[in-house]
Amino acid sequence: MAQEAAIGVRDPEAHKNTDRLAILDTISLPFELSDDKKLSREDILNKKEGFFVTGLPRFEFDPIRGFGIGGNVFFFQNKTKEDPFFYYTPYRYSINTEFFVFENGRVRAAVNLDVPYIFNSKWRLRADAVVWEDPNAQYWGIGRESLNNLSFQDKSAGAEGGIRQFNRVNDYEENLKIAVPGNGGRLQTDTHYNQFIQRELLFNALGERVEMGGKLRLMFGYEALFTAFEDYTGQIAEEAFLADGTEVEAVQRQTLVNQQINDGTWDRFNLSGFSDGFKFTSMLAAALIYDTRDLEPDPSKGVFLQYSHEYSAPWLGSDFNFNKFMVQGQFIHTFHRWKNDRNRLTFAGLAAFGHIFGPNINFIEMWDLSSQAEAGGILVLGGGRSLRGYREARFMAPTVGLVNLEMRARLHDFNAFNQHFALGVTPFYDFGTVWEGLSDVQLNNFRGAPGLGGRIAWNQSTILRLDYAQSREGGQFFFGFGHIF
């Protein structure tokens, strides 16, 4: 009984697994791993053995795309407690499959493979395949001026209305939808002023080798990206209304992306790639990572430092020529544990800085920071994985700074249907800014937004996330899988 009390056993299932701590003292690894990489005691006791599947259907509402339906299915292999890596990694391999379709026609399908310590070696293999089509991809302008308040012609006053500033993005978008007479008397609108159609195919493979007892990770790989885009200028808009609310048919006036391509803005930033035919971005990627986190999907302690670099050039077969780098730091610290370590209060912070440069840049590459630790990088600056209170790509420029601060409280856990669940809440604050180049970096004009989230940890390796954030331009809900970092 003394042994049970010492390790916090609380039910028959935990009692059955108490020998895991004894096995931990006798296991022999094929190479040295630091104690910092060892899972916490409660994670070792709650970890599921063998192969298992998690996932569920997802129902979402997006203010841009309407209702959506889809789902994720995760396949995990943990092996048994006799496997030495059982105590050092969240899984031996995982496969994540995703499919989602929204009311507006947005479609995303993806398969992600992750195999840490493949063949019991120091190597890790990651591979991703993503198909993406979005009829309402967001474009709010490029450069420091994207930080300005929302403004547009006040069309509620008619075709001659003056420029008006909008405090809320919903009010701004309702104004865009108002139709006004154009040349020849035909009604015109600006429904898609900040939108374009995006089609994308992404394939990548990354190899990673660990050193320094698993703390240092050397990563390199290759990415093939095929992108095509379509402009709404001159098309019949999906929605248009008269000022009194009457629905009408109207032609889309010049969009912002069309305007900035033609007025020289894109030339100033060396941007190209907006074509209805697929353009090919062939990239080499590399990263140097220092990582002492104890459990990647849901860490309770450790630091994560990363420098990553992507390079695209014609000699690789690419239609573009640019370099892109990112520096990122994360700090995770648990302030307090209670109920035999089952509950905890953990601070998690991220700071990231990215820059893209070159004579011929695929403009869509400005949409994310080039993290090699996850597929797709960190989407900026706005949306569900960066500034959660602002619309996707709300602030964008060649140089980007982002900070996320979270207080992750795990408040209750339980077993059901042979599965382990832990429930928690996460208040957070996100802020960041953009600059037109490295020489323009200055610590002012940041945009930030607080929020509150709920978390469900499912068998440790799957994190369900529900977030609400409120910015000065309005509030947004997000539901997804995994912490944002």
Domain count, the chain: 1
Q: Has residue 81 been placed in a domain?
A: yes
277-300 per-position pLDDT tens digit: 999 999 999 999 999 998 888 899
Is the confidence at residue 336, as pLDDT, over 50? yes
CATH number at residue 69: 3.30.1300
Q: Has residue 47 been placed in a domain?
A: yes
Q: Three-class SS string for 344-381? A: EEEEEEEEEEEEEEEEEEEHHHHHEECCCCCCCCEECC
For position 375, what pLDDT does the model report? Answer: 54
Q: Has residue 179 been placed in a domain?
A: no
Residue with the larger pLDDT of the pair 208 and 8: 208
The answer to whether 103 touches 65, Cβ cutoff 8 Å, is: yes
pTM of the model: 0.85
Q: Has residue 103 been placed in a domain?
A: yes
Residue with the larger pLDDT of the pair 13 and 177: 177
Give CA–CA dist 185/179, Å, rounded. Answer: 11
Query: Which amino acid is present at 383?
Result: G
For position 100, what pLDDT does the model report? Answer: 86
For position 21, what pLDDT does the model report? Answer: 62
DSSP 3-state assignment of 304?
Answer: strand
Q: Has residue 66 been placed in a domain?
A: yes
The answer to whether 99 touches 353, Cβ cutoff 8 Å, is: no
For position 63, what pLDDT does the model report? Answer: 64
Residue found under tokens 């910015």: 471
Q: Has residue 324 been placed in a domain?
A: no
What is the token pair recorded at 326? 């990112």
The total of other beta-carbon atoms located within 10 Å of residue 149's CB is 10
For position 192, what pLDDT does the model report? Answer: 95
Type and span of the H or E element at 6: helix 2-7
Q: Has residue 393 been placed in a domain?
A: no
What is the token pair recorded at 212? 């320094």
Of 114-118, 132-136, 155-159, the range with the lowest mean pLDDT is 155-159
Question: Angle 239-245-251 (CA atoms, 0-180°, nearest 5)?
Answer: 35
Residue with the larger pLDDT of the pair 230 and 9: 230
For position 376, what pLDDT does the model report? Answer: 56
Give CA–CA dist 427/345, Å, rounded. Answer: 11
pLDDT tier, 161 (very low <50, low <70, confident <90, very high otherwise)? confident
444-484 per-position pLDDT tens digit: 999 999 999 999 988 877 888 899 999 999 998 888 778 88
For position 22, what pLDDT does the model report? Answer: 60
Provide the residue range defining the domain that includes 45. Answer: 27-121
Give CA–CA dist 409/346, Å, rounded. Answer: 6
Computed over every residue of the chain, the mean pLDDT equals 88
pLDDT tier, 60 (very low <50, low <70, confident <90, very high otherwise)? low
What does DSSP assign to residue 382? Answer: S
Of 71-80, 220-229, 316-325, the range with the lowest mean pLDDT is 71-80
Of 215, 58, 231, 30, nearest in space to 120 by CA: 30
Cβ neighbours of residue 254 closer than 8 Å, sequence gap 6 or more: 233
Residues present in the chain in total: 485
12-57 per-position pLDDT tens digit: 444 545 566 666 666 788 888 888 788 877 778 788 888 988 887 7
Q: Has residue 65 been placed in a domain?
A: yes
Chain-centroid distance, C-alpha 336 = 28
Give CA–CA dist 90/52, Å, rounded. Answer: 13
